[in-house]
A and B are shown apart, each in its own frame.
Chain A
C-alpha cells in the first residue's frame, strides 16, 4: 500500500506570536518551528498501516526551504522518502493554493491513501486535505480516529461533536484528515536519524499559484471584552489572595 502524508511546518507553540509592522503576518524571521501536531499523528498512523500491510510512506510538504526540518524529522521517524514542493509564496498561501501545490506533487504518485492533519496550527483553515481530495478526484472523510484497511476497502471512525462517533466505509484511494490522539506517537531514534540522511528528498519547484482567494488585510491581538482581575505578587501572595477572593468575593466554596 502506498501512503502519502502531508506535513506542514508551523511556528512552535512556545513561540511568542508577534505581529509584523504592516500587520499582515507575524514576525516569523526569529520563530521556532515544528511539525503541525495532527500531522505527526497522521504520519504515525501511516507508519502503523505500513507495518501491518506493507508498502511505502511518502511525506509531502509545501513551503519554503526551511520546511526541510520537518521533512528530516518525518524521515527519521520512519517515512521512506519525501517530496518538497518548494516556493516562498507557500509560507503564507491560502488553503486553495496549498492544496493545488500538493495535488500537483501527488497526482502521478498513484497513492492508495493520503493522510493529512485535520487542521493547521497557524492559519487553521481545516480545508487543505478535503480540497486535495477534490483536486485528485478521491473519496475522503475527516476528523478520523481509527483506520481499518481490508484489500480495497476502507473503514474509518469519524469523530462527531460531543463524544459521538460514526463508522464510515469507502473505497480506496481516499484522503483522510487525521485527528490528534488517534494513536500514541513514536519519536525518532538515533538509528532513524542516521538512516534518514540516506533517504530521498525530491525537491520540485512550485508552480506559480493561481490567484489568491483569501487575503489577510489585518492581523491583530483581539481586544479584551471581559474584565479580568489579575492577581499579582509572589506565587505565595497571589495564591493566598486568590483563595481569599474565591471564598469571600466569588463565594465558590
Chain B
C-alpha cells in the first residue's frame, strides 16, 4: 500500500496534493490518500474521485491548525498501524517542516524534493537535484520502515491524475494525538505591508542575480530595464542583501511572474527562483557559466560577462 499525504487548509486542497497523487499512481500499486485535519470530510470526498483504493480522513480537533508535533504524532501512529510500503508527499513548506521529523521518528528513509522516479534493480530510484541544481542524482532508499518520498511542486502534472470509475471508499480515523504534547502555538498567517510593485502584471522584466556583484552595479541593470521598458526584479540574495526591495524578489518566497520577456542577468536558475518565472513566454539568460541551470530553461542564451554584454545591449537598443 502506498500512502499519499494530502494537504488542505480550511477545507481547500492544494494543487500539490493532486501532483503527489499522480506521482503515487506512477509508482504503481494500491494507493490510500490520507488527509489530516480537524474536519476534512469535504477534502476527503474530493480526493475520493481519484483512482485509488481508499481515502482516510485522519481527524482530530488538535489538527485544526497545522503544527509539526501534532502532525507527526497523528501520522506516525497511523503509519505504524497500517505499514504502507511508501509514503508520498508534496514538497511544500509544511512538508519540509514535519516530514524529516516523521522519518526520524519512524527511523525510515526519506528522499526529499524529488523530480522523478526510475525503475532500478527491481525497485525504484528517485531523482533529486543536488549542488544547487547543477547535477541530478538517482538515489535509492534502504533500511527499515516505509520509504518516504516528497516531490517537488510541478514535477508531476495535475491533469495526468487518473480518476476512478466510482468514488473510492472513505474511512474516518480518529487521530491519536495528545494535545498536551504539541509544543508549537501558531498564529494566523499574514503578509507584510502591501506591495507597491505588482510584477505579475509586468510585460517585460530584467532580473538580476548574484552575478551583479555589488549594489553599485544595479544601476546598469536599471538602465537596461529602462531601455526595454521593463520592470526590474531580482533573485533572493539580492533582496536579502538589501540591494533591491523584497517586493522585487521573484521565486517561491517572492512573486510569481509571467511576462512576455524575462531577462535573467547573472542568475544561476535555482529551482526556488525558477518556479516564480517559468510561465514566461520568452526567457533570456546571460551568464558567464555555460553550465548554469538557467540555460536549460532559456529560449535565448549568451554565455558571457554581463558587465560586457549589458552595456552593449543598451547601446544596441539606443542605436
Q: Which A residues lie at the B interface, using CB under 8 A?
A: 11, 13, 16-17, 19, 26, 94-96, 99, 118, 121-131, 133-135, 139-143, 158-171, 174, 180-181, 184, 211-222, 224-226, 228-231, 235-236, 238-240, 242-243, 245-246, 250, 252-253
Contact = CB atoms under 8 A, between A and B. Distances in A.
Which of A118, A167, A224 has the most C-beta atoms of chain B within 10 angstroms of its own C-beta? Answer: A167
Given A143-B96, A226-B296, A166 B304 contact: no
Contacts of A130: 68, 96-101, 104
A127 B100 contact: yes
B183 to A, nearest CB: 4
B304 A164 contact: no
A246 B68 contact: no
A89 to B, nearest CB: 15
Given A222-B296, A243-B317, A131 B104 contact: yes
A167 B284 contact: no
Which of A13, A142, A220 has the most C-beta atoms of chain B within 10 angstroms of its own C-beta? Answer: A142
Contacts of B252: 161-162
Contact of B189 (A166, A217, A220, A222): A166
Give the size category of B's interface with A: 35 or more
Interface string B123-167: 001001111101111111111000000000000000000000000
B187 interface: yes
Given A163-B192, A168-B187, A239-B312, A127 B130 contact: no
A243 B261 CA distance: 12
Contacts of A180: 236-237, 240
Nearest to B128: A124
Given A170-B185, A238-B309, A250-B261, A228 B240 contact: no
A180 B293 CA distance: 21
Interface string B246-274: 00000011111000110000001000000
Contacts of A217: 120, 125, 138-140
Given A214-B141, A229-B299, A242-B313, A252 B204 contact: yes
Contacts of A164: 189-191
Determine the main DSSP class of B at the interface with A: mixed
Nearest to A130: B100
B300 A170 contact: no
B192 A165 contact: yes
Contacts of A236: 312, 315-316
B298 interface: yes
A134 B102 CA distance: 9
B216 interface: no
B136 A235 contact: no
A219 B313 contact: no
Contact of A123 (B96, B130, B136, B141): B130
A228 B135 contact: no
Given A95-B110, A130-B100, A170-B183, A163 B139 contact: no
A164 B187 CA distance: 12
B300 A250 contact: yes
Given A130-B96, A143-B93, 12 more contacts: A96-B107, A122-B131, A125-B100, A162-B256, A163-B253, A163-B254, A164-B190, A166-B190, A230-B295, A250-B281, A250-B282, A253-B204
A19 B130 contact: no
B180 interface: no
Contact of B131 (A17, A118, A214): A17
Given A143-B93, A168-B185, A246 B136 contact: no
Contacts of B183: 139, 170-171, 174
B103 A231 contact: no
A250 B135 contact: no
A184 B242 contact: yes
